[in-house]
A and B are shown apart, each in its own frame.
Chain A
Amino acid sequence: MKASRTTRRVLQLVCAHLVVGAALLGRFAVGDDPFATSLLTLAAFAAGYALVDLIPLHLEFRRHAHTITITEAVIVASAFYMEPAGVVAAAVIGELIACLKNRLQPLQLTFNVAQTFGAAAVAITVFTAVGPADATSGRAWAAAFAAAACFATVSMVSVASVLTIVEGTAFRRVVGVTSASTGITALASAALGLALLTLAEGSAAAPLLLAPVVALVVLESKRVTDASAERLRFQRLYEASSRTARLSRLEEAVTVLATEARDLLTGAQAICCARGDDGSWSGVVVDDAGSRALDATAVEELRAVSGNSTVELAWQQVPPALRAVCARDSEVVVAPSDPTNGGQVVLAVVAPHGGEQRQSGLAEVLSAFAGTAALAVSNAALYAEVETALRHQIDLNRQKAEFVAAVSHELRTPLASVLGSVQTIRRLGARLAPDDAEELLEAALSQGSRLRRLIEDLLLVAAAEHRTAHYQSDPIDPVATLRALEDQFRAASGEQRLRVVVDPDVKELCTDEDKLQRVLTNLVENAVKYAPDGPIELRCAKLDGGSRFTVTDSGPGIPAHERERVFERFVQLDQSSTRRQGGTGLGLHLCRNVAELLGGSLIVRGRDDGRPGAQFVLTLPGETAVPAPPSEPPPVTPKADVRNAEPFPDRLVAPGAR
């Protein structure tokens, strides 16, 4: 719809030109011979017109490059030789030849010819009105300048109108940009036409004197063209570079870079291959249909074919897998980024064979852009890296804050009980029944102990996490240790479910008794809390080069995927039950860290008899008999002292301890 409407409006413009031109020409009385001069003259001027139209000159004016033609010179010169109709005919024929030579589309051709017809008719009307006698008179100059000015003005207005219709450019803007160069050109052309005419009056060969000047002008025009094309290329390179400077994801970056490379070289397709963080290469092809991944073989071929330098490949040189991607009979420019500078990008642009306006220097532009692309890709990688690190840091900070909040809560709760009990005893004094007072004292003591244990646990965890805790490696009797533990549980909490089993071949064991007890106590307490029913078994067995302690309960057990998580600090699988049980959430984390500190390990698994329940397995090295003595005595106190949680410069390392 839009296209046909545009066409219609252009055709209306064409008609306007034809009507104006015809009306003006009709005013001239058609004499006996409208073409008073010979057809040869007509042909000569038509050829001249076509020639100047085909050699456009380029000039720079106010930092704009303008393309101009000096057709006015031919119009002016021919006006002295031919009747008005002849002048217009020569111009129209010349324009037609030029258009055909430039292979313009029918609509463009129609417009150009009509516009020439109209403009030439206006110009010759003005020329005739001034009515010069001969080329050397003053009136001749006035007539020539007026005619040239009219021709140029009509042309400019026509072109501005048609651009407004076809490209939607603002009419005033086109006129504003072109009016100065048009005016200068018109006057210069008229002068040139008259000068040629005057010289030709004297001698037919005289105009040849101007040949060197013309040659100079043409050469200069060529230089201006090249320079402006080069500037344009660099401007586009710069723009493409600044657009790609802030890419943040590799996949996105590769696609954007390929798109930019394609636009930069106005290719049909473009490929961007880049090396990822892991050293693997991947590529993307971009064309009119969008972007898609390039298969690995083609990526390899592209890297192999480019080597370390930019290459231009003819269709025969394109490797097979790459051929499958490219349009048939294309030419491919391949540019790798500087290998000494990371060399992690290869760009390729595919253009149709012998494409129009095949410019030189495209390979250099692509090569330069490859450098930018490599920078963009490493920026994207760096960005991703920083983002990951930052996210990790934020996670760590959050965990730390959560840890502090949890510790604060865990410390405050028993402290509230202790202080509340003591304050009550003092506040109520004699009003308090002796039994109640006794109960409060008991509570204060037990909560105080809980607080103390929590603090010790915290310090031990901190020390064990940093492997700075000291520990003994003494021969101990596991049987006695376990029996003591059993008695302690029975006495303290009336817990009757604990059963201790020691395999008969278990003998002496070299480890830190205090810490072993701490771990086993925690594991048994854990079982008491989370397995409210059924027996709890604590078993000790001998292993090759160590011993194994298992704590087995008959509770609900722990799902396989959660088993590692229970050892993280302050992780409670069931928040509400932990609250109910009053756990610190530190127990199992502490147990594992201490087990590792002692050179052993702690895992949890399902019961080996397949029944529901959890089984914690503590494995410790340092079998029997030969105690592994520390290389030197502990520096502070012979007993492990978790209160010295600060790093010791000369900490002891037991066999197997990390």
Chain B
Amino acid sequence: MTDNGDPMNTEVDPIHLLEASAQRPRRVLVVDDDPTIRRVLTLNLEADGYEVSVAGDGDEAKELARSIHPDVVILDVMMPVADGYSVLRALRSSPQTDDIPVVMLSARASDDEVFQGWQSGADSYVTKPFELDEVMSLVEKMVATADDRL
């Protein structure tokens, strides 16, 4: 655990990551109704050695979170059917999923909305357009924190 705790380290060596977690690749659930964003995040996460599942709406996200129990969820706020906040509430209300770290991703960027995002119980709130490196390092940090807890 030399590099993983360092937030400045944005380039993650997948081999190193695998060594650190030893048993299995880390699983990330990407939830966004925009296919391009899903694709972008999937490509980057997979390249960094994560296993990625995707969901296009809130209900699908709730299902997947329960069944695959991801290590991190990247969650869009404005989605059809069930929005990001309702997914977040669902995750936090179930003992199986309440410890999963969540990064909220949203195009809602006014002060009020960002404040609401931080208040919602998410572990992080990132506004669109996002810096890819920032999101990747957030995911990495959350995986590391979860490992520390174990």
Report A's interface with B, CB cutoff 8 A: 405, 408-410, 412-413, 415-421, 423-424, 427-428, 431-432, 436, 439-440, 443, 447, 576-577, 579-580, 582
Does B107 have its Cβ within 8 Å of any Cβ on chain A?
yes
Nearest residue (CB) in A for B113 is A405
Do residues A576 and B80 form an inter-chain contact, with CB atoms below 8 A? yes
Minimal beta-carbon separation of A111 from chain B (angstroms): 74
Contacts of A447 in B (CB 8 A): 36
Task: List the 4 closest pairs (A to B, CB-CB), nearest first.
Answer: A416-B128, A420-B40, A417-B36, A412-B107
Q: In the complex, given contacts A420-B41, A420-B132, what are 17 additional A-B residue pairs having Cβ atoms less than 8 angstroms apart?
A: A405-B108, A405-B113, A409-B107, A410-B107, A413-B128, A416-B37, A416-B129, A417-B37, A420-B130, A421-B36, A421-B40, A427-B133, A431-B47, A447-B36, A576-B80, A579-B33, A582-B34
Interface membership of B110, Cβ < 8 A = yes
Contacts A412-B127, A415-B129, A428-B43; is A405 near B36 (CB within 8 Å)? no
- Which of A408, A424, A439, A580 has a CB less than 8 Å from the CB of B109? A408
A-B contact pairs, 29 of them (CB 8 A): A408-B108, A408-B109, A409-B109, A410-B107, A412-B129, A416-B34, A416-B129, A417-B37, A418-B129, A419-B129, A420-B132, A421-B36, A421-B40, A423-B40, A423-B132, A424-B40, A424-B43, A424-B132, A427-B132, A428-B44, A428-B47, A432-B43, A440-B39, A440-B40, A443-B40, A576-B80, A579-B78, A580-B80, A582-B34
A584 to chain B, nearest CB (A): 13
Q: What residues of chain B have their CB less than 8 Å away from a CB belonging to chain A? A: 33-34, 36-37, 39-41, 43-44, 47, 78-81, 107-110, 113, 127-133
Query: With A416-B107, A420-B36, A443-B36 in contact, is A579–B132 under 8 Å at CB?
Result: no
Nearest chain A CB to B108's CB is how many angstroms away?
A: 6
Residues of A within 8 A of B109 (CB): 408-409, 412
Known contacts A420-B132, A423-B132, A577-B80; is-contact A408 B110 (Cβ 8 Å) = yes
Chain B nearest CB from A585 CB (Å) reads 12
Q: B107, A413: Cβ atoms under 8 Å?
A: yes
Contacts of B33 in A (CB 8 A): 579-580
With CB as the reference atom, state the residue of chain B lying closest to A409. B107
Q: Which residues of A contact B107 (CB under 8 A)?
A: 408-410, 412-413, 416
Q: Which residues of B contact A580 (CB under 8 A)?
A: 33, 80
- Closest Cβ–Cβ distance, residue A412 to chain B (whole Å): 4
Which of A418, A424, A582 interacts with B44 by CB under 8 Å? A424
For B78, B110, B128, the residue with the greatest tally of chain A CB atoms inside 10 Å of its CB is B128
Q: Which of B37, B47, B110 contacts A420 (CB 8 A)?
A: B37
Smallest Cβ distance from A437 to chain B, in angstroms?
Answer: 9
- From residue B70, how far is it (CB to closest CB) to chain A in Å? 20
Complex-state Cα separation, A579 to B128, whole angstroms? 16
Residues of A close to B44: CB separation below 8 A: 424, 427-428
- A interface majority secondary structure: helix
A307 to chain B, nearest CB (A): 60
Report which of A405, A416, A436, A440 forms a contact with B130, defined as CB distance below 8 A. Answer: A416
Interface centre among B39, B47, B129 (most CB of A within 10 A): B129
Bound Cα distance from A420 to B127, whole angstroms = 13
CB distance from B39 to the nearest CB of A (A): 7
Q: Contact between B128 and A415 (Cβ–Cβ < 8 Å)? A: yes
Judging by beta carbons under 8 Å apart, are A417 and B34 in contact?
Answer: yes
**Are A436 and B36 touching (Cβ within 8 A)?**
no
User: In the complex the two chains form, what is the Cα distance from A410 to B131 in whole Å?
Assistant: 18
**B39, B81, B110: which contacts A443 (Cβ < 8 A)?**
B39
Partner of B79, one of A410, A427, A579: A579
Task: Specify which chain A residues have a CB less than 8 angstroms from the CB of B41 in the assembled complex.
Answer: 420
B79 CB contacts on chain A under 8 angstroms: 579
A409 near B108 with CB under 8 A, answer yes
Within the complex, the shortest CB–CB distance from A202 to chain B, in Å, comes to 101
Q: Which residue of A lies closest to B112 (CB)?
A: A405
Separation in Å of the B41 CB from the closest CB of chain A?
A: 8
CA distance A447 to B35 in the complex (A): 11
* Cβ distance B116 to chain A, nearest Cβ, rounded Å: 12
Which among B36, B109, B110, B127 has the highest number of chain A CB atoms within 10 Å?
B36
A413 to B77, CA, bound (A): 12
Q: How far is the CB of A441 from chain B (nearest CB, A)?
A: 11
Please indicate the chain B residues that have their CB under 8 angstroms from the CB of A428 in the complex: 43-44, 47
| Cβ–Cβ < 8 Å partners of A412 in chain B | 107, 109, 127-129
Q: Which residue of B lies closest to A421 (CB)?
A: B40
Residue with the greatest number of chain A CB neighbours at <10 A, chosen from B37, B40, B81, B132:
B40
Closest B residue to A444 using CB positions = B36
CB distance from A403 to the nearest CB of B (A): 12
Closest residue of chain B to A423, judged by CB?
A: B132
Shortest B9–chain A CB gap in Å is 15
Best-surrounded residue of A413, A428, A447 (most CB of chain B within 10 A): A413
- A432/B47 in contact, CB under 8 A: yes
Give chain B nearest CB distance to A233 CB in angstroms: 58
> A residues within 8 A CB of B34?
413, 416-417, 582
Closest to B35 in A: A443
CA distance A415 to B107 in the complex (A): 10
A292 to B43, CA, bound (A): 76
**Which residues of A lie under 8 Å from residue B37 when comparing CB positions?**
416-417, 420
Contacts of B47 in A (CB 8 A): 428, 431-432
Which residues of B are found within 8 Å of A579, using beta-carbon distances? 33, 78-80
What is the CA–CA distance of A420 and B47 in the complex, to the nearest angstrom?
15
Q: Select from chain B the residue with minimum beta-carbon distance to A415.
A: B129
CB of A581, distance to nearest CB on chain B (Å):
9
Task: Give the residue name and chain of the B residue nearest to A401 (CB).
Answer: B110
Give complex CA distance A238, B107 in Å.
61
CA separation between A419 and B43, bound complex, in Å?
14
